[in-house]
Chain A
Amino acid sequence: DTGVSQDPRHKITKRGQNVTFRCDPISEHNRLYWYRQTLGQGPEFLTYFQNEAQLEKSRLLSDRFSAERPKGSFSTLEIQRTEQGDSAMYLCASSPGLSGSYNEQFFGPGTRLTVL
Protein backbone atom coordinates (compact mmCIF):
# COMPACT_ATOMS: atom_id res chain seq x y z
CA ASP A 1 0.00 0.00 0.00
CA THR A 2 1.69 3.14 -1.18
CA GLY A 3 -0.79 5.59 0.19
CA VAL A 4 -3.87 7.32 -1.12
CA SER A 5 -4.15 7.15 -4.89
CA GLN A 6 -6.31 9.18 -7.23
CA ASP A 7 -7.21 8.63 -10.84
CA PRO A 8 -6.89 10.31 -13.23
CA ARG A 9 -4.16 12.75 -12.28
CA HIS A 10 -5.23 15.19 -14.95
CA LYS A 11 -8.51 15.68 -16.75
CA ILE A 12 -9.34 18.16 -19.47
CA THR A 13 -12.96 18.40 -20.47
CA LYS A 14 -15.31 20.69 -22.30
CA ARG A 15 -17.92 22.73 -20.53
CA GLY A 16 -21.12 20.80 -20.10
CA GLN A 17 -19.50 17.37 -19.98
CA ASN A 18 -19.63 15.04 -17.00
CA VAL A 19 -16.48 13.87 -15.27
CA THR A 20 -15.79 11.25 -12.62
CA PHE A 21 -12.78 10.95 -10.38
CA ARG A 22 -11.72 8.02 -8.30
CA CYS A 23 -9.97 7.86 -4.94
CA ASP A 24 -8.48 4.75 -3.37
CA PRO A 25 -7.76 5.34 0.30
CA ILE A 26 -5.19 3.58 2.42
CA SER A 27 -6.40 0.10 3.25
CA GLU A 28 -8.52 -0.08 6.38
CA HIS A 29 -8.94 3.67 6.61
CA ASN A 30 -12.62 4.11 7.17
CA ARG A 31 -12.75 7.89 6.83
CA LEU A 32 -12.49 9.49 3.42
CA TYR A 33 -12.58 13.18 2.53
CA TRP A 34 -12.86 15.17 -0.68
CA TYR A 35 -11.49 18.68 -1.04
CA ARG A 36 -11.25 21.19 -3.85
CA GLN A 37 -8.31 23.53 -4.22
CA THR A 38 -8.18 26.45 -6.61
CA LEU A 39 -5.13 28.50 -7.45
CA GLY A 40 -3.91 30.56 -4.54
CA GLN A 41 -6.33 29.01 -2.10
CA GLY A 42 -6.15 26.31 0.50
CA PRO A 43 -8.12 23.09 0.22
CA GLU A 44 -11.87 23.56 0.62
CA PHE A 45 -13.80 20.79 2.29
CA LEU A 46 -16.41 19.18 0.05
CA THR A 47 -17.60 16.01 1.73
CA TYR A 48 -16.71 13.24 4.16
CA PHE A 49 -17.47 9.53 4.42
CA GLN A 50 -17.36 7.23 7.39
CA ASN A 51 -17.18 3.82 5.73
CA GLU A 52 -19.89 3.93 3.06
CA ALA A 53 -21.98 6.60 4.76
CA GLN A 54 -21.68 10.16 3.52
CA LEU A 55 -21.92 12.02 6.80
CA GLU A 56 -21.14 15.60 5.88
CA LYS A 57 -21.43 17.76 2.81
CA SER A 58 -20.27 21.30 2.40
CA ARG A 59 -22.60 23.97 1.11
CA LEU A 60 -20.00 24.35 -1.63
CA LEU A 61 -21.16 21.03 -3.01
CA SER A 62 -23.84 21.98 -5.51
CA ASP A 63 -26.33 19.49 -6.86
CA ARG A 64 -24.08 18.96 -9.87
CA PHE A 65 -21.61 17.22 -7.56
CA SER A 66 -22.17 13.76 -6.19
CA ALA A 67 -19.88 11.47 -4.28
CA GLU A 68 -20.17 7.82 -3.46
CA ARG A 69 -18.30 5.22 -1.51
CA PRO A 70 -20.41 2.15 -2.19
CA LYS A 71 -18.43 -0.50 -0.38
CA GLY A 72 -16.63 1.63 2.11
CA SER A 73 -13.38 1.37 0.18
CA PHE A 74 -12.77 3.50 -2.92
CA SER A 75 -14.80 6.61 -3.59
CA THR A 76 -15.91 8.45 -6.70
CA LEU A 77 -16.66 12.12 -7.18
CA GLU A 78 -18.79 13.01 -10.18
CA ILE A 79 -19.35 16.47 -11.56
CA GLN A 80 -22.21 16.83 -13.99
CA ARG A 81 -22.51 19.59 -16.58
CA THR A 82 -19.08 20.95 -15.78
CA GLU A 83 -18.52 24.69 -15.73
CA GLN A 84 -15.31 26.62 -16.11
CA GLY A 85 -15.49 27.49 -12.43
CA ASP A 86 -15.10 23.80 -11.62
CA SER A 87 -11.50 23.93 -12.81
CA ALA A 88 -9.44 23.07 -9.75
CA MET A 89 -7.37 20.42 -8.04
CA TYR A 90 -9.57 17.81 -6.40
CA LEU A 91 -7.92 16.22 -3.39
CA CYS A 92 -8.84 13.07 -1.55
CA ALA A 93 -7.67 12.17 1.94
CA SER A 94 -8.22 9.24 4.25
CA SER A 95 -7.75 8.61 7.94
CA PRO A 96 -8.06 5.59 10.22
CA GLY A 97 -11.13 6.95 11.97
CA LEU A 98 -10.49 5.58 15.41
CA SER A 99 -13.41 6.50 17.58
CA GLY A 100 -13.13 9.40 19.98
CA SER A 101 -10.04 11.00 18.53
CA TYR A 102 -8.77 12.97 15.62
CA ASN A 103 -6.74 10.98 13.15
CA GLU A 104 -4.15 12.28 10.75
CA GLN A 105 -5.41 12.73 7.23
CA PHE A 106 -3.28 11.26 4.48
CA PHE A 107 -3.70 13.09 1.20
CA GLY A 108 -3.60 11.78 -2.31
CA PRO A 109 -1.76 13.50 -5.18
CA GLY A 110 -4.95 15.10 -6.46
CA THR A 111 -6.77 15.22 -9.78
CA ARG A 112 -6.33 18.43 -11.71
CA LEU A 113 -9.46 19.30 -13.66
CA THR A 114 -9.44 21.82 -16.47
CA VAL A 115 -12.78 22.79 -18.00
CA LEU A 116 -12.48 24.49 -21.38
Chain B
Amino acid sequence: DIQLTQSPSFLSASVGDRVTITCRASQGISSYLAWYQQKPGKAPKLLIYAASTLQSGVPSRFSGSGSGTEFTLTISSLQPEDFATYYCQQLNSYPRFTFGPGTKVDIK
Protein backbone atom coordinates (compact mmCIF):
# COMPACT_ATOMS: atom_id res chain seq x y z
CA ASP B 1 0.00 0.00 0.00
CA ILE B 2 1.07 3.56 -0.68
CA GLN B 3 1.82 5.47 2.52
CA LEU B 4 1.58 9.23 2.83
CA THR B 5 3.48 11.36 5.33
CA GLN B 6 2.86 15.02 6.04
CA SER B 7 5.14 17.62 7.54
CA PRO B 8 4.88 19.37 9.79
CA SER B 9 2.19 17.61 11.82
CA PHE B 10 1.50 20.85 13.64
CA LEU B 11 2.11 24.43 12.57
CA SER B 12 1.62 27.63 14.51
CA ALA B 13 1.29 30.74 12.33
CA SER B 14 -0.05 34.28 12.29
CA VAL B 15 -2.61 35.92 10.04
CA GLY B 16 -0.86 37.05 6.89
CA ASP B 17 1.88 34.41 7.06
CA ARG B 18 2.83 32.25 4.09
CA VAL B 19 2.33 28.61 5.05
CA THR B 20 3.64 25.50 3.28
CA ILE B 21 2.66 21.91 4.06
CA THR B 22 4.47 18.96 2.49
CA CYS B 23 3.03 15.55 1.62
CA ARG B 24 5.32 12.68 0.63
CA ALA B 25 4.26 9.39 -0.92
CA SER B 26 6.07 6.10 -0.36
CA GLN B 27 6.07 5.53 -4.12
CA GLY B 28 5.32 7.58 -7.18
CA ILE B 29 1.68 8.61 -7.63
CA SER B 30 2.06 10.91 -10.64
CA SER B 31 -0.29 13.83 -9.94
CA TYR B 32 -3.05 11.80 -8.30
CA LEU B 33 -3.11 13.86 -5.12
CA ALA B 34 -5.82 15.93 -3.48
CA TRP B 35 -5.78 18.31 -0.52
CA TYR B 36 -8.65 18.77 1.94
CA GLN B 37 -9.35 21.20 4.74
CA GLN B 38 -11.23 20.10 7.83
CA LYS B 39 -12.51 22.36 10.57
CA PRO B 40 -13.58 21.00 13.97
CA GLY B 41 -16.94 19.27 13.83
CA LYS B 42 -17.20 19.62 10.05
CA ALA B 43 -16.75 17.37 7.06
CA PRO B 44 -13.58 17.71 4.98
CA LYS B 45 -13.65 20.18 2.10
CA LEU B 46 -11.83 19.66 -1.19
CA LEU B 47 -9.27 22.39 -1.90
CA ILE B 48 -6.94 21.06 -4.59
CA TYR B 49 -7.11 18.08 -6.96
CA ALA B 50 -4.69 16.62 -9.47
CA ALA B 51 -1.92 18.05 -7.26
CA SER B 52 -2.30 21.63 -8.48
CA THR B 53 -5.85 22.34 -9.70
CA LEU B 54 -7.88 24.64 -7.50
CA GLN B 55 -11.39 23.40 -6.76
CA SER B 56 -14.13 25.78 -7.84
CA GLY B 57 -14.93 28.35 -5.17
CA VAL B 58 -11.68 27.90 -3.23
CA PRO B 59 -9.75 31.17 -2.67
CA SER B 60 -6.73 31.72 -4.88
CA ARG B 61 -4.43 32.08 -1.85
CA PHE B 62 -4.42 28.26 -1.82
CA SER B 63 -2.13 26.54 -4.29
CA GLY B 64 -0.70 23.08 -4.80
CA SER B 65 2.36 21.75 -6.57
CA GLY B 66 4.41 18.62 -7.06
CA SER B 67 4.30 15.26 -8.75
CA GLY B 68 5.71 11.81 -8.22
CA THR B 69 6.42 11.52 -4.50
CA GLU B 70 6.61 15.07 -3.14
CA PHE B 71 3.79 17.59 -3.00
CA THR B 72 3.14 20.90 -1.32
CA LEU B 73 0.11 22.91 -0.30
CA THR B 74 0.77 26.62 0.08
CA ILE B 75 -1.41 29.29 1.63
CA SER B 76 0.02 32.57 0.42
CA SER B 77 -1.45 34.80 3.15
CA LEU B 78 -3.08 32.97 6.04
CA GLN B 79 -6.56 34.20 6.93
CA PRO B 80 -8.47 33.65 10.20
CA GLU B 81 -10.81 31.16 8.50
CA ASP B 82 -7.83 29.03 7.37
CA PHE B 83 -7.02 27.71 10.83
CA ALA B 84 -7.90 24.05 10.39
CA THR B 85 -6.41 20.62 9.76
CA TYR B 86 -5.21 19.81 6.25
CA TYR B 87 -5.04 16.33 4.76
CA CYS B 88 -3.54 15.03 1.54
CA GLN B 89 -5.03 11.98 -0.21
CA GLN B 90 -3.56 9.84 -2.95
CA LEU B 91 -5.86 8.52 -5.69
CA ASN B 92 -3.26 6.61 -7.69
CA SER B 93 -3.60 3.26 -5.96
CA TYR B 94 -7.21 2.46 -6.86
CA PRO B 95 -9.28 1.86 -4.79
CA ARG B 96 -7.03 2.25 -1.73
CA PHE B 97 -7.25 6.01 -1.56
CA THR B 98 -5.15 6.59 1.54
CA PHE B 99 -4.98 9.86 3.44
CA GLY B 100 -2.00 11.51 5.04
CA PRO B 101 -2.01 11.89 8.84
CA GLY B 102 -2.93 15.57 8.71
CA THR B 103 -1.36 18.93 9.52
CA LYS B 104 -3.02 21.13 12.09
CA VAL B 105 -2.61 24.86 11.49
CA ASP B 106 -3.10 26.83 14.66
CA ILE B 107 -3.01 30.49 15.62
CA LYS B 108 0.30 31.78 16.97
Are chains A and B native binding partners rather than an unrelated pairing?
no
Which A residues lie at the B interface, using CB under 8 A? none
